[in-house]
Chain A
């Protein structure tokens, strides 16, 4: 059974139907990516999974459990953690405090301290800036912090929303490298990206979204070579 199963969900913003029956599955230890243009429904899908939006129809199951009726904070406690779009770190708290907030639902202090050390090894830049106010970090550092903060919750599934958005090309490469590293350490990842080539390049499985529907799906490499995808997204 897949770790995350989305079955024919319909999500509305008032009267506008943003998702028109989306189904997808994320297997353990995979990187799965959702690609598509602006307004295709990528972020809406993530918001529905993390409980900030509620589907009108269809079900979302995480590890076999139906998420319907759970609040966003309950869902976070099940191990489904999001790295939000545009970083959205807590700008007025320090880097250390941001990391601490990531582990908000955890009570195992020792393990939290260990995880913090792990993050410092994964992102050495953050170690230098532990006491700094997070709002003063550069864009790339904020992305690292947002990722580290999410990992502090020991997610079983990490939802990443446009992690490369607004970053310099060199940093973008670094972001995808990091995603690979995290995945290699055993974290399952659902990645939403506009940068289709890079995302499909590292993904085990990919879905192409267009105006609220999935129009294509397949292994990441296959999609990358697919003529239709090439034409639509790779120019």
Chain B
């Protein structure tokens, strides 16, 4: 109606698309402001990725803007060039709330409410250039990142395949510089020269960052090309075999790494190993038999205390056995406790079972802590002076040596778990999980099966507890908190219910990574929680789902697609 000329049919569709880009930008911007106000960004800013050039905090904000750009570009239904401009817009819009925040901080002090809104933060957001220039740069930076994100989203696969691994490698190399430098410093010669080229003493230097990016990008490209070329003249490889091979390589790295990486990594991996042991045990109970157990830590405690009582050199000693004799006793006793634990909850199902086992687990901890049992178990002071295991004259004192003990135990346990899974008993457990009544009506002994699940599950935790005791050389009741049960449950869910490789992946992701991020202090549990939520939204079947679960999800999609008329829902377990 106005004097401005608009080509008919163009004005109308563009408008909602622009609106969408702006909304996407605002959503990401709100996320960025949230992280900033909470203090995460400033904390991350303390840490360089590339010394003097890019901090982890800055990288986080840039990644958010890039994410906004990529998403805006993915959503829109216009030409490629226009999409990239939409990305630029979304990136700039994502930076806008941060800019507003910067202005706000500059005008009034909000530190009484949000302690993180400090002058340091202002300096970071404006790059120390004062509000006017800084804010312009902030918006420009957001727009640039949005543009890059959109461009990457629009690029051919070949580019993505190179850029993403390259960027990831730089971030990892930068963030974990201390660990990596420590690891490399042990060696003279070429290794140390490489280190000196990549790193200055306080972190990754620009030349190093570029080198790492280039090398990883090329590697990513090479791997991608090989994979692409294969189907042309050869039949596609069995995906399961490929997965197994990858798992094998990962295990090999896991096995060899601590020997070269020093004691800190050894310590972390050992903890991961203990959780893998427990995860495999709980996986028998929950993943196979469907018995939700929140008192699992009790068996861990039984294993630890049994080992302590049988080997300690303190006054609490019942016997002075060698560790290698005490360990099997600890495992046997854990089985016994597992069976006893199962008895009172035999008839309890589902949610009620979770609550009942929660109570049982707490009872064990409270008994251990009580004054009543203190003469035997040491009460809150615990039991000290547990010796390290020995082989002949050698004391397995170092974390690395104990890691190998854990690894061996996990190997044996994995074999047992794998055999159990494919046994008659394993089948009976799965039937039980799906329908208790019918399983019984088919001749499965419910009581026997359930008690075996608790007993065998407990054996794994007892073994872990036994190693734990000798690792710390002391045991305290406070080491056996409910949180351990919950962690084990979370790791098997994240890894993939009922899947052995899933347990390993879950333990590495949920136990290993937070250990490595220890210096982020209280914030690491923030990440932990966020990761759990994101995982359950995006990949509820877990990182490495069991065949059964995968089949189920896959088959359901197929059936839904084929005949929407039939009833595709599986029978729910009670």
- Residues of A at under 8 Å CB distance from B? 50-52, 71-73, 76-77, 81-82, 84, 87-94, 97, 100-102, 104-105, 132-139, 142, 149, 153
B residues within 8 A CB of A73?
Answer: 440-446
Q: Please tell me if the beta carbons of B548 and A93 are within 8 angstroms of each other in the complex.
A: yes
Q: Please tell me if the beta carbons of B442 and A91 are within 8 angstroms of each other in the complex.
A: no
Given A72-B441, A133-B548, A133-B570, 7 extra CB contacts under 8 A: A71-B447, A84-B438, A87-B571, A92-B430, A101-B427, A102-B442, A104-B424
| B461 shortest CB reach to chain A, Å | 25
CB-defined A-B contacts under 8 Å, sample of 18 = A71-B445, A72-B437, A73-B446, A76-B442, A77-B443, A82-B441, A84-B438, A87-B571, A91-B570, A92-B433, A92-B434, A93-B431, A104-B442, A104-B444, A135-B568, A136-B555, A142-B567, A153-B443
Also in contact, A93 and B440, with CB within 8 A (given A136-B555, A136-B568): no
In the assembly, what is the distance between CA of A127 and CA of B569, in Å?
Answer: 21
Q: Please tell me if the beta carbons of A92 and B446 are within 8 angstroms of each other in the complex.
A: no
A residues within 8 A CB of B438?
Answer: 84, 88, 90
A residues within 8 A CB of B442?
Answer: 73, 76, 81, 101-102, 104-105, 149, 153
Chain B residues within 8 Å of chain A by Cβ, number: 35
Also in contact, A90 and B443, with CB within 8 A (given A97-B427, A135-B570): no
Closest to B548 in A: A92
Q: Please tell me if the beta carbons of A104 and B427 are within 8 angstroms of each other in the complex.
A: yes
Closest to B290 in A: A92
Task: Let me know if B419 is at the binding interface, CB within 8 A.
Answer: no
In the assembly, what is the distance between CA of A102 and CA of B427, in Å?
Answer: 11
| A160 shortest CB reach to chain B, Å | 12
Closest A-B pairs by Cβ, 3 of them: A135-B570, A91-B570, A105-B443
- CB-CB contacts of B538-574 with A at 8 A, as 1s and 0s? 0000000000110110011011000100111111100
Closest to B560 in A: A136
Residue among A76, A81, A90 facing the most chain B CB atoms (10 A cut-off): A90
In the assembly, what is the distance between CA of A51 and CA of B572, in Å?
Answer: 23
Also in contact, A133 and B555, with CB within 8 A (given A90-B430, A91-B434): yes
Also in contact, A93 and B434, with CB within 8 A (given A84-B441, A136-B568, A139-B566): yes
Residue among A82, A97, A101, A132 facing the most chain B CB atoms (10 A cut-off): A101
A residues within 8 A CB of B563?
Answer: 138
Task: Let me know if B368 is at the binding interface, CB within 8 A.
Answer: no
| B10 shortest CB reach to chain A, Å | 47
| A59 shortest CB reach to chain B, Å | 20
Q: Please tell me if the beta carbons of B430 and A52 are within 8 angstroms of each other in the complex.
A: no
| B545 shortest CB reach to chain A, Å | 12
Closest to B566 in A: A138
Closest to A139 in B: B567
Q: Please tell me if the beta carbons of B551 and A94 are within 8 angstroms of each other in the complex.
A: yes
In the assembly, what is the distance between CA of A152 and CA of B502, in Å?
Answer: 34
Q: Please tell me if the beta carbons of B427 and A100 are within 8 angstroms of each other in the complex.
A: yes
In the assembly, what is the distance between CA of A104 and CA of B549, in Å?
Answer: 22
| A133 shortest CB reach to chain B, Å | 4
B residues within 8 A CB of A51?
Answer: 440
Closest to A149 in B: B442
Closest to A86 in B: B571
In the assembly, what is the distance between CA of A188 and CA of B112, in Å?
Answer: 82
B residues within 8 A CB of A136?
Answer: 555-556, 558-559, 568, 570
- Residues of B at under 8 Å CB distance from A? 424, 427-428, 430-431, 433-435, 437-447, 548-549, 551-552, 555-556, 558-559, 563, 566-572
| B288 shortest CB reach to chain A, Å | 11
B residues within 8 A CB of A71?
Answer: 440, 445-447
B residues within 8 A CB of A90?
Answer: 430-431, 434-435, 438, 571
In the assembly, what is the distance between CA of A50 and CA of B438, in Å?
Answer: 10
Q: Please tell me if the beta carbons of B569 and A135 are within 8 angstroms of each other in the complex.
A: yes
In the assembly, what is the distance between CA of A82 and CA of B447, in Å?
Answer: 20
In the assembly, what is the distance between CA of A102 and CA of B435, in Å?
Answer: 13
A residues within 8 A CB of B435?
Answer: 88, 90
Which listed residue, A77, A82, A104, A133, touches B551 by the CB 8 Å rule?
Answer: A133
Closest to B442 in A: A104
Also in contact, A76 and B443, with CB within 8 A (given A84-B438, A88-B437, A101-B427): yes
Q: Please tell me if the beta carbons of A92 and B570 are within 8 angstroms of each other in the complex.
A: yes
In the assembly, what is the distance between CA of A104 and CA of B556, in Å?
Answer: 27
In the assembly, what is the distance between CA of A76 and CA of B439, in Å?
Answer: 10
A residues within 8 A CB of B428?
Answer: 104
B residues within 8 A CB of A138?
Answer: 563, 566-567
Residue among B558, B559, B563 facing the most chain A CB atoms (10 A cut-off): B559
B residues within 8 A CB of A101?
Answer: 427, 431, 439, 442
In the assembly, what is the distance between CA of A94 and CA of B424, in Å?
Answer: 16
| B421 shortest CB reach to chain A, Å | 13
| A57 shortest CB reach to chain B, Å | 23
In the assembly, what is the distance between CA of A124 and CA of B226, in Å?
Answer: 44
Closest to A133 in B: B555
B residues within 8 A CB of A82?
Answer: 441
Closest to B556 in A: A136
Also in contact, A91 and B551, with CB within 8 A (given A82-B441, A101-B442, A104-B428): no
In the assembly, what is the distance between CA of A83 and CA of B441, in Å?
Answer: 9
In the assembly, what is the distance between CA of A71 and CA of B570, in Å?
Answer: 27
In the assembly, what is the distance between CA of A54 and CA of B571, in Å?
Answer: 26
B residues within 8 A CB of A149?
Answer: 442
In the assembly, what is the distance between CA of A136 and CA of B552, in Å?
Answer: 8
Q: Please tell me if the beta carbons of B427 and A89 are within 8 angstroms of each other in the complex.
A: no
Closest to B557 in A: A136
| B330 shortest CB reach to chain A, Å | 32
B residues within 8 A CB of A81?
Answer: 441-442
In the assembly, what is the distance between CA of A87 and CA of B433, in Å?
Answer: 16
B residues within 8 A CB of A97?
Answer: 427, 430
| B548 shortest CB reach to chain A, Å | 6
B residues within 8 A CB of A77?
Answer: 443
| A167 shortest CB reach to chain B, Å | 11
In the assembly, what is the distance between CA of A142 and CA of B438, in Å?
Answer: 14
Residue among A72, A84, A87, A97 facing the most chain B CB atoms (10 A cut-off): A72
B residues within 8 A CB of A105?
Answer: 442-443
In the assembly, what is the distance between CA of A88 and CA of B574, in Å?
Answer: 11
Which listed residue, A52, A87, A134, touches B437 by the CB 8 Å rule?
Answer: A52
Residue among B424, B441, B445, B563 facing the most chain A CB atoms (10 A cut-off): B441
Closest to A82 in B: B441
In the assembly, what is the distance between CA of A39 and CA of B569, in Å?
Answer: 27
B residues within 8 A CB of A87?
Answer: 571
Closest to A93 in B: B430
In the assembly, what is the distance between CA of A226 and CA of B133, in Å?
Answer: 98
In the assembly, what is the distance between CA of A115 and CA of B431, in Å?
Answer: 20
| A137 shortest CB reach to chain B, Å | 8
